Structure 1
Amino acid sequence: NTVENGVFIPSTLLALDLARALETTVDALFFLKD
């Protein structure tokens, strides 16, 4: 599974739709490790 392997990169539209559906922000859902 690509999500479990940490290599899945969602499209911008998918990220926006997911955030809207969950009533949160894209930043709250996804973050980059430093």
Structure 2
Amino acid sequence: MFNLLIDIMTSALSGCLVAFFAHWLRTRNNKKGDK
């Protein structure tokens, strides 16, 4: 049970990190394009 909870938490955390990183890259590229 505890291992399952940790597995779900790590999966959700890694998913959030990937989405945040992709969003950051997109915004950084947009700022570079404006200048």
Q: Please, what TM-score do these two structures have when normalized by structure 2?
A: 0.37
Larger Rg: 2
**Higher relative contact order (CA closer than 8 Å, sequence separation 6+):** 1
Per residue, is there more helix in 1 or in 2?
2
